[in-house]
Chains A and B, each alone.
Chain A
Amino acid sequence: MGNENKLINGWLMLHIALCLIFIFAPIAGSFVFSLNSDRFPSLPLGEFSLDWYRAIWNDPLVWSGFGNTVIVGLIVAVIATILGFGGAYTDYRYNFFGKSFYLALALLPPTIPVVIMGLAMLAFLSRIQLSGSTISVVIAHGVMCSPFAMAIIRLRLSQMDPDLEAAAWNLGGNEWATLRHVIIPFTRPAIFAALFITMAVSFDEFAVAWFVSGLNETLPVKILGFLQGQVSPRINAIGSLAFLSSMTLIVLAQLLLRNPNEGSK
């Protein structure tokens, strides 16, 4: 660009910096205080300490919440990615009456306010005797996460040469063999990205899990419990770890999606 305006560029940089600070300052603060020996978060800082991390390490409640979160996250990631792949492939492959309605319906869940979603899930799951268990969180999160997986895989499929699938059929692969040897390898980066993203979404989700989890609380629900009981810097330590896990998943997904033309080779 020949007519770059330094002033405008400067303002844009400042704007981005402010946005990032606004988003990350609380998280960074929480991280800093998690390593601070003081009982209450205040300045000036006390000594560096890993006490709060030791405290949560030794807390069985944290472990049970973390365990539930991981189990739910793993199962949800697999289910949501399979459902998302199915939805995306259906959209790619077929034209049928009511397709736009089908797409709207499939991509709808993230637009529903989580409180409404949580209430509806609770009402529905308790009616079929499935509320208050880990399975209920899996079902609710599966519904919420599938559209994310579908969107990611759909994007990848849209980058595929439209002749590729027909070429595989023409070379002797039936529809199942082609799905296995062409469609899945081509979408593999997106499939992994979808696994990571859906796991991260499930990992962080609080409201719906709060409604349906009953006694099998996931970590975010546990955190609320801790906050209601006592204000402890342990929260900062848990928060820092949760943030780190989610970020790892998101970054992995981004890396996979960054250069989709590389494929697996």
Chain B
Amino acid sequence: MDASTTPPAIVKFDNVVKKFGDFVAVEKADFEIGQGEFMAIMGSSGCGKTTTLRMLAGLEDPTSGDIYLDGERVNGRATWDRDTPMVWQSLALFPFLTVQENVEFSLKMRGVGKAERAKRARKWLEKMQITEFADRGINQLSGGQRQRVALARALVTEPKILLLDEPLSALDAHLKVRMQAVLSNLQKDLGITFVYVTHSMSEAFAMADRVVIMSRGRIEQIGTPEEIYRAPYNRFVAEFLGSANIFDGVVGAATPGGHMVAYDGGEVDLPASELLDAKTGDKVTFMVGAENVDLAPTDAGQDGLAATVVGEEFLGATATVFLETDDGQELKVQKSHAELKAVKCHAGARLIAHWAPSACHVLPGEKG
């Protein structure tokens, strides 16, 4: 993370640990979120992402470590004394109130007068384009409309930060993409910080400025979607992205630009910039993106890994081909249908998988 490019922090987690009994839900969370930043916290269920968000909201207290909100330490401060509204996965709208009353709720709790409440709620209903439903009950709304009510209800106090806990997970694919656009534009429009928890990489990468990837309570990597995609920090992240081929290798003899690295099935000349300060004899793990692997027929004289096609996954314009070498190493290759046809790819076919050394990325988190 490059501190010089991030805006002033509105949120700071300083060595935050959260335990439930013996279970460590969050293990040493240490990061900052900049003002006006769209930050996604991503991971599979039980990775600690929601606990992290709830600690920020004041719904859980950290076991140790400090949380700063807008420069102030907020440990132990109740959620109703923070202005950290949250959009819930279940939305948690009040079924016994109308749309407008739902939106007015937090103003009412803060003792804002009736006329002022109505005025401010109206403004947000308008902004979310749900004015016509103001007097309806929550049960009379569609999923997308409820989503907008939940956003209006959370934003009506004009907070500096909005927390979102998988708010789109219940929507169908089409509506999800539309709401992503709504959220993205809203965040740019308001210029406030969004902290967005999700298990979906496509949601996180589509909207967020930066992404925190968590697993089993640990933060595996923080970076922009592009940084993470191009340079996963460790095996977990590379595997999480789903389209990486991962190889374990040993650093060998020096070459003019770097070192040879020997791995199961071959050798590759990696530049020093990739290898960082690895020396001869060190173990390294590197990955090759599935889209960077090429296939050639066995008789083309191409150097590479000989492998057998075990299956194919259709992905619209491209397909992902799964291959296995004789040693059992699994390979994934993503190619267009025309390219696959050209090498006569079919289940059971023998092909040579090869790639340019520049396609290799060493996982810095796996060194040693």
Contacts and interface: CB of A to CB of B under 8 A. Distances in A.
Interface string A250-265: 0000000000010111
Interface in B91-121: 92, 94-98, 105-106, 108-110
A174 B94 CA distance: 16
Interface in B107-164: 108-110, 137, 139, 153-154, 157
B153 to A, nearest CB: 7
Contacts of A173: 80, 105-106, 109
A170 B80 contact: yes
Classify the secondary structure of A's interface with B: helix
A99 interface: no
A168 B57 CA distance: 12
Classify the secondary structure of B's interface with A: loop
A261 B108 CA distance: 24
A181 interface: yes
Contacts of A163: 88-90, 92
Given A174-B78, A188-B96, A167 B86 contact: yes
A171 B106 contact: yes
B79 interface: yes
Nearest to B88: A163
A51 B31 CA distance: 86
Given A181-B108, A261-B139, A265-B96, A172 B80 contact: yes
Contact of B80 (A161, A162, A174, A188): A174
B95 A169 contact: no
Interface string B66-96: 0000000000001110011110111010111
Given A161-B92, A182-B94, A170 B110 contact: no
A177 interface: yes
Chain A: interface size category: 20 to 34
B96 A172 contact: no
Given A161-B90, A261-B139, A170 B109 contact: no
Contact of A169 (B79, B154, B157): B79
Interface in A162-214: 162-164, 166-174, 177, 181-182, 185-186, 188
Looking at A161, A164, A169, A171, the one whose CB has the most chain B CB atoms below 10 A away is A171
Nearest to B58: A170
Contact of A170 (B86, B90, B96): B86
B336 to A, nearest CB: 45
Contacts of A264: 96
Contacts of A172: 80, 83, 106, 109-110, 157
Contacts of B183: none
Contacts of B105: 168, 171, 173, 181
B92 A167 contact: yes
Interface in A95-149: none
Nearest to B136: A265
A177 B78 CA distance: 14
A72 B141 CA distance: 45
Contacts of A186: 94-96
Contacts of B106: 171-173
Looking at A168, A173, A181, A265, the one whose CB has the most chain B CB atoms below 10 A away is A265
B201 interface: no
A177 B105 CA distance: 11
B86 A177 contact: no
B80 A263 contact: no
Contacts of A177: 80, 109
Given A172-B110, A172-B157, A167 B88 contact: yes
B140 to A, nearest CB: 10
A170 B57 contact: yes
Contacts of A181: 105, 108-109
Looking at B86, B109, B110, B154, the one whose CB has the most chain A CB atoms below 10 A away is B109
B59 interface: yes
A263 B157 contact: no
A39 to B, nearest CB: 56
29 contacts: A162-B90, A163-B90, A164-B94, A166-B59, A166-B79, A166-B92, A167-B86, A169-B59, A170-B57, A170-B58, A170-B80, A171-B80, A171-B105, A171-B106, A171-B109, A172-B106, A172-B110, A173-B105, A173-B109, A174-B78, A181-B105, A181-B108, A181-B109, A182-B94, A186-B95, A186-B96, A261-B95, A263-B96, A263-B137
- Sorted nearest first, the 8 A-B pairs with minimum C-beta distance are A263-B96, A167-B92, A172-B109, A171-B106, A163-B92, A173-B109, A185-B96, A172-B106
